[in-house]
Amino acid sequence: MVGSTVDVNISQKTLSFAEYLEYSGEPGVLYELDRGQLLEMPTTTGLHNLICKFLTVEFLRHLVSENLNLVAIDLTGVRTEENTSRIPDVVVCHQSFWKKVCERKGAAVLNFDEKPLLVVEVTSQNWRDDYGTKRAEYDRLDIPEYWIVNPEQERVRLCSKIAGGSSYAERDFLPGEDVNSAQFPGLILPVARILDPPDVDYLVREELRLRQELEELEWQINAERQRAEAERQRAEAERQRAEAADRRAEQLAQYLQALGIDPDTIN
């Protein structure tokens, strides 16, 4: 997602990267820095926002399940050149990098030494920049993986650094296929679900429902286990009582025999 120097160039003044970090524009408006020029980010559609939220949640889910010290965040800047900073829709980076960003004043931007592992752009009006300018910058920065989600063309392009390769290798994924992350092999997402994602609130509610069902199932299993243990203990107590009765009968028989009485003749 990127602006255009033609219709959203809001300042003729060239800014340094340091000045950009301290720049305060219109409230609620995000700006990229393109070789010193401020670019106002375009307004996004509801579908665009849904896709970004969905991917952020799915990435986080995977990172947590794999116990990786990484974070997935949205709308965080990535410095790609001396006076250029892009704002991908989703960024995956090391937790330590994100902590450093949060501790700094000014705009939230990952610097050169805080390179993300994966970035995502969801195309909008200026989709050509995602396939051209941004792709080239992310490639030069050596970001291992770059996703371009194109709802209009109904495809997801995965650009990844193959071992030994000097530039991105590309593959397009279409509805009916699954996007297989090269950077995170266990991260597999259906293209159809990416392009038409459920609302994140629904996912949270569904997870809570499943968690409650799991807790109820665990309670039932524990209750059944306790009942089985109580039955086992009752059976064990009955067995011990029977053995005690047998021992008493044997002792009585031995006593009667000592008195010269045949126990079998006693009714």
For 85, the token pair is: 């900073």
Q: Rounded CA gap, 242 and 244, in Å?
A: 5
Contacting residues for 264 by C-beta, under 8 A, at least 6 apart? none
Work out the burial of residue 126: count CB atoms within 10 Å of its CB; fewer than 13 is exposed, 13-18 middle, 19 or more buried.
Answer: buried
User: Domain ranges in the chain?
Assistant: 43-197, 205-265
DSSP string for 67-106: T-SEEEEES-EEEEETTEEE--SEEEEEHHHHHHHHHSSS
The C-alpha angle 15, 43, 72, rounded to 5 degrees, equals 80
Q: CATH classification of 43-197, choosing from 3.90.1570.10, 3.30.420.40, 3.40.1190.20, 3.40.50.2300?
A: 3.90.1570.10
pLDDT in single tens digits along all 267 residues of the chain: 544 433 344 446 789 999 999 998 788 888 999 999 999 888 889 999 999 999 999 999 999 999 999 999 998 999 999 999 999 999 999 999 999 999 998 899 999 999 999 999 999 877 888 999 999 999 999 999 999 999 999 999 999 998 767 789 999 999 999 999 999 999 999 999 999 998 777 667 776 776 777 778 788 888 888 888 888 888 888 888 888 888 888 888 787 778 777 777 776
State how beta strands 155-161 and 90-94 pair: unpaired
**pTM greater than the 0.85 cutoff:** no
Ramachandran bin of 36, using left for φ above 0, alpha for ψ from -120 to 50, beta for the remaining angles:
left
Contacting residues for 198 by C-beta, under 8 A, at least 6 apart? 54
